[in-house]
């Protein structure tokens, strides 16, 4: 039903099927073909571009529609009038929608139990809308088929096309008040395949998909050791089906376009040890089941043979008077094999969750380096632990002010900063010498690049590559130990790194204090 908007050029695509099209616009909900739509004079709406199901639009503007129809009846000499109740009765059963959406390179066809179709035949590229009130959309990434006012019954979804790969499908039921959906993944081999579902408008669960053969559940990827090599292992839950004939295992490297068949396994198998190294390269895996007729339907969940190693920890308590016993708890992620703690007072530990006792007043930087199957990571908290000085700490009836100096405003006090005049802390950093903008203050890598370049590194930690006590962002020779920072020719390059240190300079390690 077309409604008249505030301008003659902007209104719904829906219209009177037999009217003369004019001022047509390709928008709306698609329930009436746009080429058959026309303007109905005398029906106004403040929202001419609102989308919704056909019945929903009729319900929203029913008063205007009834008024327009009755005025038209009077003008043509017809005596029969309609009421709001007539509109309510005629639209109450068509507010539901049923359909599928897919992401993948295949075409989909939805067929009801009467043999009527809605969708696309990939061979002929023909679009079918035989099912009443159906709409079909297809684009480069997938498509959808929607039926307004669907009939209760049995539906078949058929996939076709020549492109191999994963296809992700969603079966959806929705009204203006509720919705229900089920998600599935297919391995499409390039040959036509199908699955079925039942729609029952009276049931609590409207959609029932035929999962035959069933989907293998709870697929996980882990590692095992074979002759000193760390390899990938898959595990899943057994499928309980008397007609089960076996499982198919699929995989692809992370940047490959689609899955390929890795192996076929017997029905009783729930584990497979691959010949793929763990995490090198990263791979995606899935498992499906097939029955004794060779039918294969849905894929399991997708998993990767790589977990991300991320260092993290908690400390409790974080402040107090000496002696203070602190529990450090590792909260890192990944398959971990080693821990290296540095408590900031010269003491270290290789335990996963160590205790440490602080005896001297001060603020301590704590570092944790973790090692795992997936790699290594590092976390540092510059002001993790504070041991209070009872002579300067505020107590009742005493007012004491402790001044903390942070010259470069990087979040690390000068007394603990290995580069107090140039930021290299959690609040502010310095662009590395290899970045597009070397030496510039930064808060992220993006501050260190020009245009669309990826050549940016914002150093926001106390890294000291040569362990000479001078942070890399201040060090005039960060690759060689030179704690005195000697630079005879004042060219900004430390003598130990300078091939021509100049008159009076020394490019030999013995010219610097040994580290």
Q: What is the pLDDT of residue 334?
A: 78
Query: Measured between alpha carbons, how far is 31 from 14 in angstroms, rounded to an integer?
Result: 6
Residues 8 and 44 in one domain: yes
pLDDT in tens, 457-500: 899 999 988 888 889 888 888 888 888 888 888 888 888 888 88
Does a structural domain hold residue 397? no
User: Residue 42: what pLDDT?
Assistant: 43
Same domain, 407 and 506: no
Domain count, the chain: 6
Domain boundary among 304, 324, 340: 304
DSSP string for 136-195: EEEETTEEEEEEESPPSEEEEEEEE-S--EEEEEEEEEE-SS-EEEEEEEEEE-SS-EEE
For residue 6, tell me if it sits in a domain. yes
DSSP character at residue 254: T
Q: What is the pLDDT of residues 18-71, one digit of tens each?
A: 444 444 444 444 444 444 444 444 444 434 444 444 555 555 566 667 666 666
Partnered with residue 364 across adjacent β-strands are 385
> Which of 329, 364, 388 lies at the terminal end of a domain, its last residue?
388
Last residue of a domain, one of 77, 94, 111: 94
Q: What pairs with residue 99 in β-bridges? A: 146, 172
Is the peptide bond prior to 483 cis by the omega test (within 30 degrees of 0)?
no
CATH number at residue 127: 2.60.60
- The CA distance from 372 to 378, in Å, is 12
Residue 98 CB partners (closer than 8 Å, separation 6+): 146, 147, 150, 155, 172, 173, 199, 206, 207
Q: What is the pLDDT along the chain (515 residues), one digit of tens a residue?
A: 333 333 333 333 444 444 444 444 444 444 444 444 444 444 444 344 444 445 555 555 666 676 666 666 565 555 555 555 555 555 444 478 998 988 888 888 999 989 999 998 766 678 889 999 888 887 777 888 999 989 899 999 998 887 887 888 889 998 877 888 888 888 888 888 888 999 998 888 999 998 888 889 899 888 888 887 888 899 999 888 888 999 999 999 877 878 888 999 998 899 999 989 877 778 899 999 998 888 887 899 888 887 667 789 999 999 998 889 999 999 988 778 899 999 999 999 999 999 999 999 999 999 999 988 767 778 888 888 999 887 665 544 545 556 678 888 888 888 888 898 899 998 899 998 888 898 899 998 888 998 888 888 899 999 988 888 889 888 888 888 888 888 888 888 888 888 887 766 665 555 655 44
Q: Name 442's Cβ contacts closer than 8 Å, sequence gap at least 6.
A: 428, 429, 430, 431, 448, 458, 460
Handedness of CA 22, 23, 26, 32 (dihedral sign): negative
DSSP 399-458: --------TT-SSS-TTT-SSTTS--SSS-EEE-TTSSSTT-EESSGGGG--TT-----E
The residue among 438, 435, 439, 408 whose CA lies nearest residue 423 is 408
Task: Report d(CA 147, CA 96) in Å as an integer.
Answer: 8
Q: Rounded to an integer, what distance in angstroms lies between the CA atom of residue 5 and that of residue 43?
A: 8
Distance in angstroms (rounded) separating the CA atoms of residues 58 and 45: 12
- Strands (DSSP E) contained in 200-299 are 207-209, 217-226, 229-237, 244-253, 260-265, 271-277, 283-291, 296-299
- Cα distances (angstroms) measured from residue 302 to each of 137, 239, 270, 499: 27, 17, 16, 55
Which range marks the domain in which residue 507 is found? Answer: 480-515
Which token pair is 56? 């929903």
Do 332 and 372 have their domain in common? yes
122: left (phi over 0), alpha (psi -120 to 50) or beta: alpha
393 inside domain: no
Instruction: Work out the angle at residue 102's Cα, subtended by the Cα atoms of residues 219 and 97, and round it to the nearest 5 degrees.
Output: 115
**Kind and range of the H or E run holding 128:** strand 126-129
Three-class secondary structure of residue 323 per DSSP: coil
Whether 56 maps to a domain, the answer reads yes
β pairing state of 375-388 and 319-321: parallel
Q: How far apart are CA 271 and CA 287, in angstroms?
A: 11
- What backbone phi and psi angles, to 5 degrees, belong to 99? -175, -175
Q: Both 194 and 283 in a single domain?
A: no
| Same domain as 158, residue 101 | yes
d(CA 90, CA 107): 34
360 in a structural domain: yes
- Does residue 398 lie in a domain region? no
Give the pLDDT score at 248: 93
User: Distance between CA 397 and CA 379 in Å, rounded?
Assistant: 40
Task: Report the alpha-carbon distance of residue 469 to residue 484 in Å, rounded.
Answer: 10
Assess if residue 333 is contained within a domain.
yes
**In this structure, is residue 395 part of a structural domain?**
no
Q: Which of 331, 333, 328 is nearest to 349 (CA)?
A: 328
Q: pTM for the full model?
A: 0.44
Whether residues 40 and 12 share a domain: the answer is yes
Shared domain check, 104 and 26? no
Same domain? 465 vs 512: no
């Amino acid at each position: 039903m077309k409604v008249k908007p505030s301008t003659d050029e902007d209104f719904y695509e829906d219209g009177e099927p037999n009217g003369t099209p004019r001022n047509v616009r390709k928008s709306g909900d698609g329930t009436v073909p746009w080429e058959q739509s026309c303007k109905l004079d005398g029906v106004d709406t403040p929202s001419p571009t609102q989308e919704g199901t056909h019945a929903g639009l009729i319900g929203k503007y029913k008063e205007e529609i009834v008024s327009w129809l009755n005025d038209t009846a009077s003008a043509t000499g017809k005596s029969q009038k309609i009421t709001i109740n007539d509109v309510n009765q005629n639209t109450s059963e068509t507010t539901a929608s049923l359909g599928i959406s897919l992401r993948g390179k295949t075409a989909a066809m939805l067929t009801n139990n009467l043999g009527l179709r809605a969708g696309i035949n990939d061979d002929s590229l023909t679009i079918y809308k035989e099912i009443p009130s159906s709409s079909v959309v297809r684009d480069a990434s997938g498509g959808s088929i929607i039926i307004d006012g669907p009939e209760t019954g049995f539906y078949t979804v058929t996939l076709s096309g020549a492109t191999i790969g994963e296809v992700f499908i969603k079966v959806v039921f929705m009204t203006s008040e509720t919705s229900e959906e089920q998600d599935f993944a297919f391995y499409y081999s390039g040959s036509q395949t199908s699955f079925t579902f039942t729609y029952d408008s009276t049931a609590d669960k409207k959609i029932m998909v035929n999962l035959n053969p069933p989907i293998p559940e709870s697929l996980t990827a882990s590692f095992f050791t074979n002759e000193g090599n760390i390899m990938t292992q898959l595990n899943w839950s057994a499928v309980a089906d008397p007609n089960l004939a076996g499982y198919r295992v699929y995989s692809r490297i992370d940047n490959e376009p689609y899955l390929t068949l890795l192996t076929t396994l017997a029905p009783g198998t729930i584990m497979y040890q691959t010949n793929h190294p763990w995490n090198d390269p990263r791979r995606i895996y899935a498992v499906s089941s097939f029955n004794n007729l060779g039918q294969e339907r849905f894929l399991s969940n997708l998993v990767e043979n790589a977990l991300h190693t991320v260092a993290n920890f908690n400390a409790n308590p974080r402040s107090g008077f000496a002696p203070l016993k602190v529990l450090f708890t590792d909260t890192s992620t990944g398959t971990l094999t080693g821990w290296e703690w540095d408590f900031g007072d010269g003491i270290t530990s290789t335990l996963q969750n160590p205790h440490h006792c602080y005896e001297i007043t001060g603020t301590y930087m704590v570092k944790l380096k973790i090692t795992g199957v997936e790699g290594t990571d590092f976390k540092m908290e510059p002001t993790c632990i504070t041991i209070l000085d009872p002579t300067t700490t505020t107590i009742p009836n005493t007012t004491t002010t402790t001044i903390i100096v942070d010259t470069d405003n990087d979040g690390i006090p000068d007394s603990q900063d290995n580069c107090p005049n140039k930021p290299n802390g959690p609040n502010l950093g310095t662009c590395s010498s290899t970045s597009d903008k070397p030496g510039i203050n930064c808060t992220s890598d993006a501050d260190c690049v020009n245009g669309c370049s990826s050549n940016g590194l914002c150093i926001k930690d106390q890294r000291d590559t040569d362990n000479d006590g001078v942070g890399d962002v201040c060090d005039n020779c960060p690759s060689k130990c030179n704690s005195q920072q000697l630079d005879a020719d004042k060219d900004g390059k430390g003598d130990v790194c300078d091939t021509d240190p100049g008159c009076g300079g020394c490019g030999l390690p013995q010219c610097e204090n040994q580290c």
